[in-house]
Chains A and B, each alone.
Chain A
Amino acid sequence: MSRRAYVIGVGMIKFAKPGASEDYWEMGSKAAKAALADAGVPYADVEQAMVGYVYGESTCGQRAVYEVGLTGIPVVNVNNNCSTGSTALWLARQAIAGGEAECVLALGFEKMEKGALGSKYNDRAIPVEKHAGVMAKVQGFTSAPAAAQMFGGAGREYMWKYGTKRETFGKISEKARRHAANNPYALFAEPLTLDEIMAAPEVFDPLTRYQCCPPTCGAAAAIVCSEDFAKKHGKAGAVYIAAQAMTTDYASTFAEDSMMKMVGYDMTANAARRVYEQAGVGPADVDVVELHDCFTANELITYEGLGLCPEGGAEKFIWEGQNTYGGKVVTNPSGGLLSKGHPLGATGLAQCTELVWQLRGQAEKRQVKGAKVALQHNLGLGGACVVTMYRRD
């Protein structure tokens, strides 16, 4: 029986636009210090550090952690595309669960460049070439940003299947901005009307500009520990990880000529199913969710992947307001990637931070009242998906 992992400290810095941030090590060390302060634990107690980032030379993790302390502990640099942050968290939980450590730092940061994601190394195979091949076969290439074509294509597939309106996708952005208005950490906190979202330039049908998350710089961190460690530090009632699963691509990603499958629908669905099984708690019991809304289209299909609504039911779920305050479950109270921003390495830990605050009742204006069960979904193309359930007893 593996040991339960507690999240006794979280912290993040306010995200910034590319060019407007500090360097990665400054952002990273500030987030780590904030999480340690939140936990009330000295860095000397940290036995390992899992540090995630996507863009940067090797050992950036050490550079950032060394600002916090030089205790010679193992520092592991983690890269798993957009799910990098939650992969670091997954490693931290695994170290605790397996009894390898009592207290681990999970840290993620990212310093991004302006513009849509692209590849840095052009003298070798791009890792998502097989995914891109599926897209080329199914819908060809356009001059739109590649990620927008992939997730937008998944949106098209869903639209075709269920006759979904374009505005339904726009509605997700409208909600994201509305939620973000209450989040001092969000980069885009000005509310947008559905009309404004729909009138924005089209990036790739059905996605308009306001339905695509922007490149962002930022950092976030969590202190993960064992039950004994938590008790010893007076954190017996802290938030804990009730279940967690990581999946990578299945054959269906490449075999079914399906854009939804290509962008990881089955990774999500399988990770979620395993989490619900481990926790013994189903989607109906979830109060609050931070999920990977890199594009509105992905939030929409993820509702179904996570079982928050029945397959084909997302449109109704959205227009009934079941995804926001007063509905069945509040999705992305932080404003999500769309409004808060998406620093690839930091996102998974920023999601964790938000959910820990929610379960502690510290989310202020955006507090989901009485939140007891929280779910996190973080997905990267290439691919990896981490789904985590948090609870507080």
Chain B
Amino acid sequence: MAEELRFEGKVAIVTGAGGGLGRAHALLLASRGAKLVVNDLGGGRHGGGKSSAAADQVVTDIKAAGGEAVANYDSVEDGAKIVQNALDAFGRVDIVVNNAGVLRDQSFRKMTEEDWEVIYRVHVLGGFRVTHAAWPHLIEQGYGRVIMTASAAGIYGNFGQANYAMAKLGLVGFAQTLALEGKKKNVLVNAIAPLAGSRLTETVMPKELLDVLKPELVSPLVAWLCHERCEETGGLFEVGGGFVGKLRWERAEGQSFRLSRPMTIEGVAKAFPTIVDFSRSTHPTDLTQSMGPVLANLPTAKGKGGNDFIDVDLALGHELTPEPSSYDERDLALYALAVGAAKDPLDPSQLKYVYEMAGEGFSALPTYGVIPAVNALVKMTASGQQAPGIHYGFERVLHGEQYLEIKRPLPTAAKLTHKAKIKDIFDKGKNALVVTAITSFDEKGREVVYNEVTTFVRGAGGWGGDRGPVQDVNVPPERAPDAVFEEKIPANAALLYRLTGDINPLHADPAFAKNFGFQRPILHGLCTFGYAARHVLEAFAGGDARLFKSIKVRFADSVFPGETLKTEMWRESKTRVVLRTSVVERSKVCLSNAAVELFDEPLVPRADKAAAPAAAAGAPAAASAASPSREVFAAITAYVAAHPELVGKTQSLFGFQLSEPDSAWTLDLATGAGSVTEGAPGKSDATFVMADADFLAMVRGEADAQKLYFGGKLKIKGNMMAAQKLSFLRDAAKEAQGKPAAATAAAPAAAAPPAPKADKPAPKAVAPAIFGALEKRLAAGPAPAGVEGAVFQFTVTEPDASFVVDFSKAPGAVRSGKADAPTVTVRVTDADLVSLAKSEVTPAQAFQQGKIRVTGQSLLAHALGFLAGLA
């Protein structure tokens, strides 16, 4: 349907059509069937004189070629006459090409107001008058095309053409607005910035260039923009010498200033490199897009406020760099002593918090959970980490409130990672409250404790911000307390407690304390906190640390070592105890608005739950009694004893670190006759980190070690090659199954109910094996056909796994994980992957059946035959 673009029945006005560009436009439009009004004043290029010759000649040329045209000699300043001429001659007007122009080039210093005025009148006022007269006709008939002739001089500036540049760019803005107003009525308006040798340019350009810059190389664009098929409007085009290209605006990403702060000169100067940086730019095309950054700035710009001490917008939500720490039995025992535990060294319920070999099983006092977290926060701050927008010193800070929640039972030794974040900032009028949340994770990334440290910042409030919760919480009821504990604090308690980490001299140095207005060193608030928590545990949880869920206190006043604490407790529900602790000697409340939450039943790691009743019923209470693997290790013990040759063959020491439930084992096949012991080895050749259930599945031959490893379910620390010597584990498990009585007889858990089974057996992943086999196949070569350079991302589901098959380098590589920029992504379930690998379905069938879902360069899926035969 490539037909000639025609203008039949259309009437076009071209101003300044006596020569140059205008003449070329007129001739071209007329040659395609348009009826022309050829306007030319016949003046000189500087605007003087008047003659009809130029226009007449063009009309003659048009008619000679079989076209229709009339000449018009009016000035564009009499635009209405020109339009009337079209209506009189042809009864309508469809196309207006504003082309007429004059020059009054002059350096700005010499430019007169008349120079400025003439240019304005011809280009701008003339363009206005012609277009304005034609506009109602165009709008009413629902069809019109208007061209404004702009210039590169207006877009970029040009020496000696201040007046001309003003006019030309003015026309661009003029066109943009008309484009908006005309669009609905199919009146389309565009501007061109032509480069052509014409009456206006012949004096300033060399001949060679003028030869290339023929007007005929501009007119086809003008004609297309005037054609009914063209839907472009509001465009600006550079055209000439055979080149045509559209221009658009570009805006730097820029800088949005916060409106809640004064916007300063310095701020602008500082942001200036960003203000002028186009590396992340946008191309706004209308006022809405122009307003975009301002509108985007509004919600945040208002801000949450702040002052010289605190900039809430900057500080709130800031996360500090995570800090690691570790603790062991010694730290737990020291803490327990420091908060008054085991004052009766014969009380076994207390001894378990301080004596690591305690018969009942050593455990942590739950409030120890604040120690590593708060110490880590102090360390972050001491190492210079500070949230942005925080500008107050330690001297203003008081520990206002503390919240601690136990998420998992505290292990007796742990390596933790603490993540701290400014959670809330409240304006309390004169003062401010800053709440820092600290979440502590164990090495498996599981949340162990959660703390909130509320600091009271003296004199830092008053910006009129969020006041935070105003209702007093944990207010003791009117009735008498359900339990009251009194306990005298040793005079040296602070000196002991400081060894748990808070070494502020305020708690040790009499002179220092005096300078702060205290008659002598004061007790740590968190020490009092530890005492009070202990009181609740004793009163309502029978001293069972596993029932402790959380505690919240407000530090109301200081306590001096040697004073007596009285904790009054009200049991508000089965699991909630409100408390208040005061100093007996001075009748001062030191902990207020405080409460402890208890668990309904002891908190144990999730996988332990099924075993807990057995433990409660009096079964042996060893920590790992519930580990289903215990039986297996008993069998391994027997197997090792029966096969003394293993040590000579293996000469390795293995560790097993199992989870859910946690247990650790050492398999020593390096020394003596070999042995199996519970507990982690000091040093091993290889340590296996995996879930208890996976370990069982592995030794029973239900899961392949290689698959577990590829699936990320088995981690091996140390020498992976040594791991291959463990194949005998299966034999051990088999022997155990063959002689169940003998094997389980050795297991202490034999009397306990059957080991808990996982709710749903996890589907066994075959994908790792398939990709393992693919890796070998690729290494053996040759590479499959048609995949050169492609990177396949396999997203395997049920169970989830990701593999990358990378053919960017011969012969191709296989790895687990995700590719940055895969060429093609294939989503498939583990089971369907097996079908493909077994050639039960072709890739095409799998695709048709929806078994593989392909994105990216999906034709590459045709090459998935490379999976065939891998299972």
A window 144-160: CB within 8 A of B? 153, 156-157, 159-160
- Identify the stretch in A26-34, A161-169, A263-271, A333-341 within 8 Å (CB) of chain B at 4 or more residues: A161-169
Interface residue? A320 (CB, 8 A): no
Contacts of B861 on A, CB cut-off 8 Å? 160
Are B848 and A156 interface neighbours, CB within 8 A?
yes
Residues of chain A lying within 8 A (CB to CB) of residue B228: 369
Chain B hits for A8, CB < 8 A = none
Pick the residue among B850, B857, B862 that contacts A205 (CB under 8 A).
Answer: B850
Q: A328-B1, A369-B228 are in contact. Are A160 and B848 (CB under 8 A)?
A: yes
Instruction: Name the distance in Å between A321's Cβ and chain B's nearest Cβ.
Output: 11
B528 to chain A, nearest CB (A): 56
By the criterion CB–CB under 8 Å, are B858 and A159 in contact? yes
A296 to chain B minimum Cβ distance, whole angstroms, is: 17
Give the residues from 1 to 46 in chain B that come closer than 8 angstroms, CB to CB, to chain A.
1
Chain B residues with CB under 8 Å of A162's CB are 859
Task: Tell me if A142 counts as interface (CB < 8 A to partner B).
Answer: yes
Contact A326–B1 (Cβ < 8 Å): no
Question: How far is it, in angstroms, between the C-alpha of A285 and the C-alpha of B3 when the chains are bound?
Answer: 11
Contact A163 B853 (CB under 8 A): no
Contact (Cβ within 8 A) B231 A326? yes
Counting residue pairs across A and B whose Cβ atoms lie within 8 Å, the total is 44
Minimum C-beta distance from B391 to chain A (A): 44
0/1 string, A87-113, CB within 8 A of B gives 1: 000000000000000000000000000
- Whether a CB of chain B sits under 8 angstroms from the CB of A239 is no
Residues in B whose Cβ lies below 8 Å from that of A369: 228-229
Report which of A139, A326, A328 forms a contact with B850, defined as CB distance below 8 A: A139
Give Cα distance in the complex from A166 to B850, angstroms.
14
A326 to B858, Cβ gap below 8 A? no
A165, B229: Cα distance in complex, Å: 30
Query: Which residues of chain B from 336 to 350 have any CB-CB distance to chain A below 8 Å in the complex?
Result: none
> How far is it, in angstroms, between the C-alpha of A187 and the C-alpha of B498 when the chains are bound?
77
* B255 at the A interface (CB under 8 A): no
Bound complex: CA A140 to CA B835 (Å): 15
Nearest residue in A to B3 (C-beta to C-beta)?
A370
Please name all residues of chain A whose beta carbon is closer than 8 Å to the beta carbon of B90 when the two chains form the complex: none
Contact of A163 among B229, B844, B850, B858 (CB under 8 A): B858
Which residues of B (515-540) have their CB < 8 Å from a CB of A?
Answer: none
Closest-CB distance, B221 to chain A (whole angstroms)? 17
Instruction: Give chain B interface residues in 421-467, CB to chain A under 8 Å.
Output: none
Instruction: Please tell me the size bucket of the interface on A.
Output: 20 to 34
- Determine the chain B residues whose CB is within 8 A of the CB of A329 once the complex forms: 1
Q: In the bound complex, do residue A160 and residue B844 qualify as a contact, i.e. CB atoms below 8 Å apart?
A: yes
A392: shortest Cβ distance to chain B, in Å?
17
Chain A residues with CB under 8 A of B844: 160
Cα A325 to Cα B229 with chains together (Å): 9
Q: Mark B291-329, 1 if CB is under 8 A from A, else 0.
A: 000000000000000000000000000000000000000
Q: Measured between C-beta atoms, what is the minimum distance from B141 to chain A in Å?
A: 15
A1 within 8 A of B: no
Q: Is A70 an interface residue (CB 8 A)?
A: no
Neighbouring A residues of B231 by C-beta, 8 Å: 325-326
Contacting pair B853 A139 (CB below 8 A): no
Closest approach, in angstroms, between the C-beta of B145 and any C-beta of chain A?
14
User: Is A284 interfacial (CB 8 A cutoff)?
Assistant: yes
Contact of B847 with A by CB under 8 A:
yes
Decide if B859 touches A163 in the complex (CB within 8 Å). yes
Within 836-871 of B, Cβ neighbours of A (below 8 Å) are at 844-845, 847-850, 853-855, 857-862
Q: Which residues of B lie under 8 Å from residue A142 when comparing CB positions?
A: 850
Closest chain B residue to A160, Cβ basis: B847
Contacts of B849 in A (CB 8 A): 138-140
- The residue in B1, B848, B859, B860 that gathers the most chain A C-beta atoms within 10 A of its C-beta is B848
Q: In the assembled complex, which residues on chain B have CB atoms less than 8 Å from the CB atom of A140? A: 849
Name the distance in Å between B184's Cβ and chain A's nearest Cβ: 11
Task: Provide the residues of chain A in CB contact with B859, threshold 8 Å.
Answer: 162-163
**A46 lies within 8 A of chain B by Cβ:** no
Q: Which residues of A contact B858 (CB under 8 A)?
A: 159-160, 163-165
Closest residue on chain B to residue A140 by CB atoms: B849
Nearest residue, chain B, Cβ from A163: B859
A284 to B844 Cα, complex, angstroms: 33
Is A359 part of the contact surface with B, judged by Cβ < 8 Å? no
Give Cα distance in the complex from A328 to B848, angstroms. Answer: 32
Contact A139 B1 (CB under 8 A): no
**Bound CA–CA A363/B848 (angstroms):** 40
Output the least CB separation between A157 and chain B (Å): 6
Residues of A within 8 A of B1 (CB): 284-285, 287, 328-329
- Report the minimal beta-carbon distance from A195 to chain B, rounded to whole angstroms: 16
Task: Report, nearest first, the 10 A-B pairs whose CB atoms are least far apart.
Answer: A163-B859, A163-B858, A139-B849, A139-B848, A160-B847, A156-B848, A140-B849, A160-B844, A205-B850, A138-B848
8 inter-chain pairs at a CB distance below 8 angstroms, sorted by A residue, are A138-B849, A139-B850, A160-B844, A163-B859, A163-B860, A205-B850, A325-B231, A328-B1
Given contacts A156-B848, A205-B853, A287-B1, 7 further A-B contacts (CB under 8 A): A139-B850, A160-B858, A160-B861, A162-B859, A163-B859, A165-B858, A166-B855
